[in-house]
Chains A and B, each alone.
Chain A
């Protein structure tokens, strides 16, 4: 079946502009995660959605970052007033129920470059 998809695959923007990144999880997966990978770094947890529960936003680096998940499926990560340090690959993952031992299935990522 279809895996996790993300769009756009690449995004170049100017400092100060807002960007929206989209994630389509695997159908039926109730848990959705956002990570980012800055150059030379490992993946950094940003936010977690599980079903109708309140999301865990503990990894968001600043209040310029927000995310929502509509209808328990598609998720959008929004970065307002982008800064150059926001340049990174933003990865979305999903898993069936959000249990800690479940495999997280990753999308190909969105490469964001802030000029």
Chain B
């Protein structure tokens, strides 16, 4: 069963507009969430994270929102730029709970295309 779900395989957005990527999780033990960005033929690179004690974390154009009661998080990119075109993976871990705390559980990814 998938513990981290990204239900939109792809998303197209006009340059300058907001991109919203969504992620849902089922495991209530998860208390740390990350977004990774991946370009073709490269490994994923870390983008932004949020712990379960927060509901928002912002870094420049990127903001992650966490709704613990709904087990939902989202990544907002504003304004979107053509260089943001990539696959975005949502990941979750349980670093505060002990065993296996380092394991990242990934969603399947959402391919974002930002159209100039």
Instruction: Write the residues of chain A forming the contact surface with B, with a CB cutoff of 8 angstroms.
Output: 4, 31, 33, 35, 40-45, 48, 50, 56, 58-59, 91, 93, 95, 98-109
Q: Which of B54-62, B76-84, B89-97 makes up part of the contact surface?
A: B89-97
Question: Which label, helix, strand, loop or mixed, suits the secondary structure of the B interface?
Answer: loop
The smallest beta-carbon distance between A12 and chain B, in angstroms, is: 16
Among all A-B residue pairs, the 10 with the closest Cβ atoms: A100-B95, A106-B43, A42-B106, A100-B101, A43-B106, A103-B46, A42-B108, A45-B103, A106-B44, A101-B95
Q: Which of A42, A56, A91, A98 has most chain B Cβ within 10 Å?
A: A42
Instruction: Write the residues of chain B forming the contact surface with A, with a CB cutoff of 8 angstroms.
Output: 2, 4, 6, 32, 36, 41-46, 49, 51, 89, 91, 93-96, 100-109
Contact (A108, B100) CB under 8 Å given A100-B95, A101-B32, A101-B51: no
The smallest beta-carbon distance between A17 and chain B, in angstroms, is: 24
State A48–B42 Cα separation when bound (angstroms).
21
Q: Which residues of B contact A95 (CB under 8 A)?
A: 102
Q: Which residues of A contact B106 (CB under 8 A)?
A: 35, 42-44
| 21 sampled A-B residue pairs with Cβ under 8 A | A4-B43, A35-B104, A40-B108, A41-B108, A42-B4, A42-B6, A42-B105, A42-B109, A56-B100, A91-B44, A99-B95, A100-B32, A100-B93, A100-B96, A101-B32, A101-B49, A101-B95, A103-B49, A106-B45, A108-B42, A108-B43
Residue of B nearest to A56 (CB): B100
Q: Which residues of B contact A108 (CB under 8 A)?
A: 41-43
The answer on a CB contact under 8 Å between A43 and B46 is no
The smallest beta-carbon distance between A105 and chain B, in angstroms, is: 8
The smallest beta-carbon distance between A35 and chain B, in angstroms, is: 8
